[in-house]
Each structure stands twice: as C-alpha cells, then as structure tokens.
C-alpha cells in the first residue's frame, strides 16, 4: 500500500512539474511592492513576526520593539528590558496587543487618550517562569494563552501560569483548530492537557528542521527548512507537491504563512514564493523584482489578502489584491514608459531610452525578466502604433518600421509624435511632427513619405482626424484649432480657432479624442463636443454620464465596444452599448507610489478585454480588471492625532487600534487645537480630497489636499470636528472628534462656586455689617452720651478749676493783701519802732539836757533817778533782738527772702540786708533812712553799692531784681 502511495505521489509530482512552464506562462506581471526602509521606523533591522489587527492596523515584532503602522504613521514601542520583540499577537478577545521578548512578555493597551501603554506581565511572575529565554510565538484559544519559548511553553489559564517543558528545542509553533502544534528538533508535537505528544504518523519529520505549521483542509501543512512542504491530514503524513521543491531546498525556508487560497514561503537566500493552493501557480518575489532584501524572516497576510514581509533589513508590502502590477522595477529599469504595443508574441516597449521588447505572455520566475533592446532605437520613443499588421515606432529621430527584433527608418524626417489612419484608407496615415503633419502611404508593400501638409506648421502632438476634410488640433499656445483640408493637394484651406469665447472652459490642457467616429475634447471640467449648427464647443452630458461624472479627464479610448477614460486618478471603463441609456462605468484607481503618469504623454494601451498597460515614469504597469464585480474595501479617513497648539504642542489624542475615543475638556486659555488626519491605506493609491467643518455648521470647507487643520480662539462649549474624504469615484468617508472647550476661569464651575461663596460671604458681611452698624450706632450713642458726660465733666471740672482758680486768686489776693497788710504792719511796726527809738533818743537827749542843768545836792539824786530813766531808755533803744525777730517774721511772710538773699549774696552787710528787705516792702528812701538811722543820701549810697554787688545794668531796676529774681 505504501509503495502504491509513493508511486502515485511520484506520478503527481511528474505531472505538476510538466505543467509548471504552462502555469507560469499564464501568470500576471509582478505585483507592486512597497518598500519601507528601516530608517522610517527606528532603524530596527530584523522583523521577526507580522500580525494585523483589522483592516487598518498592522503590528511587527522588531529588533527595536513593537512597531505599529496605520498606513501613514509608524510608532515604535520598546520593552522594559530593551530586548528585541520576538513575537506579537493582537488579541481581539481581550482588546490588547501581546508581545514577547527575551525573558519578558506583556501587552499593550491604549489609554483614554489613545496612547499605547505597556503592561509587563513577566515581572510579576516567579523567576522560574520568567527566565525562559526568547518568546517566539504567542497564541490564544478561548481563555487560554500560550507563550512559546526556546524549550518550553508557558500556559496561562485564568491568571494561573504553568510551564510545560518540551524536552527539546522548539523552532516554531502554531495553533490550528484549538490544537497547539510545535516544531522541534525531534519532529512535530501536539499539546494535550499539559503534556506534549509526538504527532501520530509523522515520524519522518523527526530528522527535519521545522520552520512553520499552517492550517490546510482537515490538517496542517508543515514547512521544513530544506525538504519542502508536508501535509498531515490528521492520520498520515505526505509530501505537499508544489513543483518548486528544488528552489525551496536550495534557498532554505525560514518562514511561512497562509491565507484562504495561498501559501507564502520566505527563504533565507532568494526572497519569497507565493503558491496558489488551487492552481499551483507560483510567484517569485526577490531583489530582482522589488524586494529590499532576500532574507525573509517573517510573513503575514492582512485582511485585504495582501502580504507583509518582515526582512532581515526592512519591511515590504506586496500588493497581491491590487488589480495593478508592474513589468520591471529598480534596479532593473529600462526607463520611463511612453508607449507599448502587443504584436503576436512580442510586447514592444517604447521608453525614453529607446525601443525594447519581451516575449508575451510574460514568463516570470526567480530571475530578472528578459527584456531586449532593439538596435539603432536609442533615444526618445514618443509612440507606437499599428496600421493593419504593421508596427511603427514614432521616435525623436523619425518614424521607424518595426519588424520582429529589428526596425528600419522611413524617410529622412525627424521628430515624429504620432500617426493617425486616414478615414476610409488604411494605406494612408498622417504623421504628427514637431512642426506640422506629413502624409505617409503604403505602395506595393512599402511605406513611403509622400508630402508635407501646406499651411500648417504647428506641433501636431495632439491631433485627430474627424474626416478626410477636417482635422482638429490643440496647441497650448494657440488653443484648439480646426483645419479644413484640401485632400487632393494636401493643404489647409481654412483655419479656425476655438477657445473660451467658443464654450471651452480653458484654452489650455485640452485633449482631442476620437470615439465611435466622433470627436470629443477632454478638459479639466469634463468631456466636450463640437456643435456644428451653433459652431461652438459645448459640454457633452451623455459622455460624462457614461464615465465618472463631469470631472477632469485626460484621454478617451475606444476598445472592443468599451469606452475607456484616463485621468490622473484612475481609469473608468464603460460600455458603449449604454451610450444612450446613461449606464454606469467601473472606476479603477491607478494612484500608487510606484505609478506616476508621464506629464503631457498620459496614455492607455488596452491589450485585451481585461488588461490595460499604463506607461508611467517608472516603466509599465498592468491593470487587470476583474471578470466579475468584486467587493472592494474602501480606505477610510481617520483623525490620527489631536494637538493643543498653544502655547506649545501638546498631544491630547492618538488614534488606536480599538478606535478608543474620549471627549477631552480643554482649558479656555489653551483653545487652539490642531487636527491631523489621513487615510487608512497601506498602498496610498487613491486620489482623495478632504473637507472639514464643525458638526453644528452647515457649510463644509473648500476641498483641500492638506492633512492638517488648525483652529484658534475657539468659543467655549462642545465642538465636533468632522473631516470627510472624497475619493475619485465619488464615494466618501467621514471621521469626527468631539471635544469641550471649558469656559474661562471666571465662568468655570469652581468660579461659580467661588462666586456663590463670595455672595454668601457678602450677605453675611452685609448682615454682620448691619449688625455691627447697629452695635456701632448703639456704641456711638453710648459714646456720645459718655462724651457729653465727659464734656460736661470737663466743663464742670473746668468750671471747678476756674472757680478754684478764682478762689485761689482770691485767696492769693487775700494772702497778698494779708501779706501786704502784714508787710505794712511790719513796716508800720518798724516805723513805729524807729519813731519810738527816735522819740526815746530825743527824750534821752532832753534828759541829758535836764541832767546837765541840775546842780546842787538834790541834783545828785535827781541825776541818779534820771540816769535810771536813761538806762531804761537805752534798754528800749537796744532792739537787735526785736529786729531779728522782725527779720524772721519778714522771711516767713516773703518766702525766706532773707535766707535766699544771704545764700546768693553772703557778702552783704547788716544795713545792706535790711536795705534789701525795706526795698522788698516797697519802702521809699525817705522811709528807709530813719529805719537804718542814716540820711537819705546814705540810703542812695547803699542802693548804689547793692547794684554794684548785684551786677545790675543801668536799665535794670534794683526793686524788680529783689522782687522777681530772688
């Protein structure tokens, strides 16, 4: 039985190998490859795994960390320990991105602002579970998480981690239909419970190096490094024959991925293979046709069935699902494409370097495409045209007749733009030259130049023949021109110009086209036609309706009853059968990073009902229109990021894979905001215009290609910014972002709370003020009463003081009066005392006279008696004691005047002291003289001596000095 199976396998292999050349002949051109050099995403070389989250987000396990790409922006997110990210797994069940590195794993989640935040899980585990080396793959099944390391699998169930050793080195792993497969250096094993078991019936793999395991039918396909692919159907193992086994064994398989109907195989030495499971068609992608690097470390299909390739150096995106493909790419370039034509088994290519050819159908393999240069064709080729079975090359050096792998020049003219077959005569053509039109005619099987058209010297780059008698030509300097021709003499009979005054939207950028025998003019405002009755150029609604509406068109073509239109954004194909019914055409975008139409020489070359060659600056592209209507996944516009732009840029929102959005509240002082938006598009292949508005506004802005919009000084309140993308086919996509501008601080909630507190405080203050006012009023009344009482007391005290003063004055007056009276009494006493002494002295003198008169015996007794009387008189005259007492009394009356006088003037004599006392009592000199028993003159003498002793000036009064200064 085994021998029969092996024979059948060999027969099947022989059959497939025998069919491979035919299979490859029917293969299409090279799919476009978009190169992302490592410099644009952080210079991380190796990319170990690729995984997409949905249509719009793709993630890469890269040397520098986790890479995130949304079609326009790259983000790099390193791990905590700075190690390479070896694995990435977007979990849709848990809405997070799991990553694995070297002895570290965790996951990324967007925060409320959309920024990816890393959560390290391994740090929370014990060392034995954490130190497991490289984590190469992460899988999820229901609520179980598997992390495949170098020699074990870490299983997480309900937050509990279990380490399951494989007892061998694990090279790869895959989760298929809930079963975990691992490829080891001892073959393939499967996990049952917490134990690994060898794959039944797959012992042949024990000596193979397993590179990948992918699902297929009821089992899996197992890719080996050097021995090709194997299929395990659940019971037995067999070779999976592709016809490229030698290629795989020679170049070493390193990675593998699968989609619904395709297997992608990445090699170490020669790029990658793409195998169709149904037809076994093989496509090669390597450095020969656009891959950056031939070492493919990882592969991954996205939701659009396009393929990502993580290379040893760079990341490439292979546009498998695009209807566009290309013939050649850098470094195998043959110049910018200007024209192409298919003739038998030859595909001729006209470029700015000359004329080339390759054999058709195109045969692609792992080698560069065989494209050959036709000798003597070097230089600028403007166009290629077919007249019957003849091919002409319109060249800067003239017109050439192409025959197989050679060509020969016709005539001696130079500078030929194009050629047009004359109406009703396929043996005559008009050649458009740099400076006119030339007639070329076929005679006896040979093409010959006949005559130059007279009266026409304009450049005929853009002309069409309406009939034998009418030619339309456009010249950017002169505008649209109609020539009436004399066919017999081949000369211009009449020339007429048509411009804006004749209905055209502009005099420039008008292209003349011939469709279904009629002349049409394509402009930036749609398709126009000539109205012969009115002799004007007018809009042609029928043609515009058949196409993509009244829009800008470059060229119109008629091919197999179909109308083709070319614009800068794409190709529209409509059926001419619906010309009068207003049928809807199909639009195909041709905007692509690797397609740029040659300005002024835009062209389409249909080679079949479903294939159109598009010459462009980078060579030649092929558009394959689908045989049936295919649902297309339209790119969507998204707001990538939102910044507060004043006073400096501050990111407040980033778009994220969950579409997680929030409504930020922005302080009023920072009410300047900038929006950055773009398309979710990995091919960037669509012409798109944007417009924007705030949702509460009815009017949209004008269309723009700008990807940013900034607003400043926004009003407070809730705003919703909307951006709309309008695609070339008229479809639209809208995204929006809502935010709130807070009121200024003086109108904020806190401010109103403050105002309320302030108002309450004011009420409380008013209440307290009124209370205090009443209290103060009462206190003021009390104070006024007290003040009144005080003033009355003061007045009373003042009155009392005045009265007391009056009393004191009266008492003083009384005392002074008494003092004066006492002084006067003392003076009188002293005067009386002096007068008594004077009297006694006089009596004594008289007594001595009597005594002197007494004589006789009786006189003695009488004398004795008189002497006794004299003695009594003397005793009465001795008055020192009396005077002393008087002086003491004088001091008592005059405040110790005599004591102060003695202290200040101790050198005064008794008479001088008495003199001072008498002067103090205001006695005159006449009154003083007898008191001190001197003459009046003597009194004046004493007064003079006193003035000298008192050092008085002439104008100073002695009486004032004694009265006031002692």
On whether both 587 and 728 belong to a single domain, the answer is no
Any idea which of 48-57, 255-264, 626-635 has the lowest mean pLDDT? 626-635
| Whole-number pLDDT of residue 898 | 81
Domain hosting residue 377, numbered range: 337-624
Specify whether the CB–CB gap between 182 and 173 falls below 8 A: yes
Is the model's pLDDT at 6 over the cut of 50? no
Q: pLDDT tens digits for 875-905? A: 766 555 665 666 677 777 777 788 888 888 8
Is the model's pLDDT at 14 over the cut of 60? no
Total domains in the chain come to: 4
On whether both 359 and 465 belong to a single domain, the answer is yes
Q: How far, CA to CA in Å, does 43 sit from each of 37, 38, 47, 71, 268?
A: 8, 4, 11, 18, 21
The order of strands in the sheet holding 428-433 is 416-421, 428-433, 436-443, 446-452
For the chain, percent of residues with pLDDT exceeding 90: 60
Look up the CATH number of the domain holding residue 945.
Answer: 1.10.10
| Whole-number pLDDT of residue 18 | 37
Specify whether the CB–CB gap between 751 and 723 falls below 8 A: no
Phi/psi of residue 229, each to 5°?
A: -110, 150
Q: pLDDT tens digits for 796-813? A: 878 887 787 777 777 777
Any idea which of 22-26, 377-381, 589-593, 662-666 has the lowest mean pLDDT? 22-26
Question: Which residue shows structure tokens 């692919």?
Answer: 229
In a domain, 565, yes or no: yes
| Whole-number pLDDT of residue 356 | 98
In a domain, 189, yes or no: no
| Listed residue (275, 228, 222) closest to 247, CA to CA | 228
Specify whether the CB–CB gap between 106 and 156 falls below 8 A: no
On whether both 587 and 663 belong to a single domain, the answer is no
CA angle 135, 141, 143 (to 5 degrees): 100
On whether both 608 and 658 belong to a single domain, the answer is no
Distance CA 430, CA 428 (A): 7
DSSP designation for 476: T
Any idea which of 317-321, 328-332, 333-337, 536-540 has the lowest mean pLDDT? 328-332
| Whole-number pLDDT of residue 7 | 42
Q: How far, CA to CA in Å, does 480 sit from each of 485, 498, 618, 829?
A: 16, 5, 31, 162
In a domain, 662, yes or no: yes
On whether both 395 and 422 belong to a single domain, the answer is yes
On whether both 547 and 511 belong to a single domain, the answer is yes
| Whole-number pLDDT of residue 765 | 85
Q: pLDDT tens digits for 104-163? A: 999 999 999 999 999 999 999 998 888 899 999 999 998 899 999 999 999 999 989 999
Look up the CATH number of the domain holding residue 124.
Answer: 2.130.10.10
Q: What contacts 170, CB < 8 A, 6 or more positions away? A: 136, 148, 149, 150, 151, 152, 153, 182, 183, 184
* Domain boundary, last residue among 747, 779, 808: 747
Specify whether the CB–CB gap between 389 and 373 falls below 8 A: no
* Domain boundary, last residue among 593, 624, 655: 624
Q: pLDDT tens digits for 284-314? A: 999 999 999 999 999 999 988 999 999 999 9
- 247 torsion bin: left (phi>0), alpha (psi -120 to 50), beta (else): alpha
In a domain, 438, yes or no: yes
Q: What is the mean pLDDT of residues 576-599?
A: 76
pTM score, two decimals? 0.75
Q: pLDDT tens digits for 690-731? A: 999 999 888 999 999 999 999 999 999 999 999 999 987 778
On whether both 674 and 714 belong to a single domain, the answer is yes
On whether both 434 and 410 belong to a single domain, the answer is yes
Report the chain's mean pLDDT, rounded to a whole number: 88
Q: pLDDT tens digits for 170-194? A: 999 999 999 999 999 999 999 999 9
In a domain, 105, yes or no: yes
On whether both 443 and 532 belong to a single domain, the answer is yes
Distance CA 521, CA 530 (A): 8
| Whole-number pLDDT of residue 827 | 62
In a domain, 242, yes or no: no
| Listed residue (464, 474, 470, 463) closest to 487, CA to CA | 470
On whether both 700 and 616 belong to a single domain, the answer is no
Distance CA 638, CA 531 (A): 46
In a domain, 581, yes or no: yes
Is the model's pLDDT at 509 over the cut of 70? yes
The order of strands in the sheet holding 30-31 is 30-31, 324-326, 619-624, 611-616, 605-606
Confidence of residue 371 (pLDDT cuts 50, 70, 90): very high
CB atoms within 10 A of CB 80: 12
Distance CA 737, CA 742 (A): 16
Distance CA 940, CA 950 (A): 15
Q: What is the signed CA dihedral for 806, 808, 812, 814, rounded to 10 degrees?
A: 70
Q: How do strand 619-624 and strand 637-644 relate by DSSP bridges?
A: unpaired
Distance CA 850, CA 862 (A): 10
Is the model's pLDDT at 825 over the cut of 70? no
In a domain, 505, yes or no: yes
On whether both 560 and 655 belong to a single domain, the answer is no
Question: Which residue shows structure tokens 């009594």?
Answer: 872
| Whole-number pLDDT of residue 697 | 87
Is the model's pLDDT at 197 over the cut of 90? yes
* Domain boundary, last residue among 724, 747, 770: 747
Look up the CATH number of the domain holding residue 695.
Answer: 2.60.40.10
On whether both 464 and 547 belong to a single domain, the answer is yes
């Amino acid at each position: 039985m085994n021998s029969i199976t092996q024979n059948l396998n060999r027969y099947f292999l022989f059959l497939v190998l025998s069919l491979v050349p035919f299979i490859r002949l029917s293969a299409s051109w090279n799919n476009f490859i978009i190169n992302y050099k490592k410099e644009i995403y952080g210079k991380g070389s190796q990319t170990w795994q690729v995984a997409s989250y949905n249509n719009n987000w793709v993630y890469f396990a890269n040397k520098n960390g986790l890479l995130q790409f949304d079609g326009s922006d790259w983000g790099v997110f390193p791990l905590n320990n700075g190690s390479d990210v070896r694995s990435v797994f977007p979990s849709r069940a848990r809405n997070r991105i799991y990553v694995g590195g070297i002895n570290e794993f965790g996951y990324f989640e967007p925060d409320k602002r959309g920024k990816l935040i890393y959560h390290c899980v391994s740090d929370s585990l014990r060392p034995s579970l954490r130190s497991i080396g490289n984590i190469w793959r992460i899988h999820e099944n229901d609520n179980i998480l598997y992390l495949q390391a170098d020699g074990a699998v870490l299983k997480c169930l309900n937050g509990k981690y279990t380490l399951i050793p494989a007892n061998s080195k694990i090279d790869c792993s895959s989760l298929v239909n809930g079963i975990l497969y691992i490829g080891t250096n001892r073959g393939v094993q499967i996990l049952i419970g917490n134990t690994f078991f060898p794959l039944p019936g797959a012992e042949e793999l024990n000596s193979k190096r397993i590179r990948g395991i992918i699902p297929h039918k009821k089992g899996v396909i197992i890719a080996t490094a050097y021995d090709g692919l194997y299929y395990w159907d659940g019971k037995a193992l067999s070779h999976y024959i592709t016809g490229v086994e030698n290629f795989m064994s020679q170049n070493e398989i390193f990675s593998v991925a699968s989609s619904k109907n395709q297997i992608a195989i990445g090699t170490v030495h020669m790029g990658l293979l793409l195998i169709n499971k149904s037809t076994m068609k093989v496509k090669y992608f390597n450095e020969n046709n656009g891959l950056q690097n031939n070492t493919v470390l990882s592969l991954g299909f996205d939701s659009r069935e396009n393929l990502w390739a993580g290379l040893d150096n760079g990341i490439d995106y292979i546009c498998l699902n695009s209807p566009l493909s290309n013939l050649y790419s850098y470094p195998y370039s043959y110049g910018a494409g200007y024209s192409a034509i298919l003739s038998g088994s030859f595909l001729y290519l006209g470029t700015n370097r000359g004329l080339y050819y390759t054999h058709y159908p195109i045969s692609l393999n792992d080698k560069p495409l065989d494209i050959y240069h036709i000798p003597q064709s070097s230089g600028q080729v403007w166009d290629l045209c077919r007249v019957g079975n003849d091919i002409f090359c319109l060249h800067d050096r003239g017109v050439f007749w192409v025959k197989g792998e050679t060509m020969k020049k016709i005539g001696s003219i130079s500078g030929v733009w194009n050629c047009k077959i004359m109406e009703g005569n396929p043996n005559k053509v008009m050649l458009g030259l740099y400076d006119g039109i030339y007639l070329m005619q076929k005679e006896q099987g040979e093409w010959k130049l006949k005559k130059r058209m007279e009266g026409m010297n304009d450049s005929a780059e853009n002309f069409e023949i309406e009939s034998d008698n009418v030619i339309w030509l456009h010249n950017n300097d002169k505008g649209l021109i109609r020539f009436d021709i004399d066919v017999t003499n081949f000369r211009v009979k009449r020339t007429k110009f048509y411009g804006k005054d004749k209905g055209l939207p502009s005099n420039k950028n008008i292209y003349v086209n011939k469709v279904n025998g009629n002349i049409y003019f394509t402009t930036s405002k749609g398709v126009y036609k000539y109205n012969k009755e009115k002799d004007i150029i007018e809009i042609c609604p029928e043609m515009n309706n058949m196409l993509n509406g009244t829009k800008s068109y470059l060229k119109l073509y008629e091919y197999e009853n179909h109308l083709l239109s070319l614009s800068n954004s794409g190709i529209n194909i409509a059926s001419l059968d619906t010309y009068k019914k207003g049928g809807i055409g199909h639009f195909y975008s041709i905007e692509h990073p690797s397609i740029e139409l040659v300005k002024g020489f835009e062209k389409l070359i249909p080679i079949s009902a479903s294939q159109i060659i598009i010459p462009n600056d980078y060579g030649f592209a092929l558009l394959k229109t689908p045989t049936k209507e295919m649902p297309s996944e339209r790119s969507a516009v998204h707001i990538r990021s939102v910044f507060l732009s004043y006073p400096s840029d501050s990111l407040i929102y980033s778009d994220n894979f969950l579409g997680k959005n929030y409504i930020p509240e922005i302080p009023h002082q920072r009410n300047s905001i900038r929006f950055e938006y773009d398309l979710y598009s990995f091919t960037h292949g669509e012409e798109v215009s944007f417009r924007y508005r705030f949702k509460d506004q009815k009017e949209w802005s004008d269309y723009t290609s700008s990807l940013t919009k900034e607003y400043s000084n926004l009003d407070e309140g809730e705003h919703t910014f909307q951006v709309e993308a309008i695609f070339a086919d008229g479809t639209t996509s809208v995204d929006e972002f809502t935010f709130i501008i807070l009121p200024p601080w003086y109108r904020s909630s806190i401010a109103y709370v403050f105002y309320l507190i302030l108002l309450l405080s004011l009420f409380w203050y008013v209440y307290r003020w009124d209370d205090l006012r009443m209290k103060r009023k009462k206190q003021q009344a009390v104070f006024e009463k007290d003040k009144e009482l005080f003033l009355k007391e003061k007045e009373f005290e003042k009155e009392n003081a005045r009265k007391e003063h009056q009393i004191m004055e009266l008492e003083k007056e009384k005392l002074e009066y008494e003092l004066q009276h006492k002084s006067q009494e003392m003076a009188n006493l002293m005067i009386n005392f002096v007068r008594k002494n004077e009297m006694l002295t006089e009596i004594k003198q008289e007594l001595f006279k009597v005594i002197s008169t007494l004589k006789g015996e009786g006189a003695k007794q009488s004398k004795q008696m008189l002497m006794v009387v004299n003695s009594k008189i003397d005793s009465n005259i001795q008055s020192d004691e009396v005077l002393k007492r008087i002086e003491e009394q004088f001091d008592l009356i005059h405040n110790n005047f005599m004591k102060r006088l003695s202290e200040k003037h101790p050198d005064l004599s008794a008479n001088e002291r008495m003199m001072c006392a008498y002067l103090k009592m205001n006695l005159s000199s006449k009154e003083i003289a007898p008191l001190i028993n001197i003459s009046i003159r003597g009194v004046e003498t004493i007064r003079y001596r006193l003035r000298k002793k008192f050092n008085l000036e002439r104008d100073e009064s002695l009486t004032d000095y004694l009265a006031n200064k002692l």
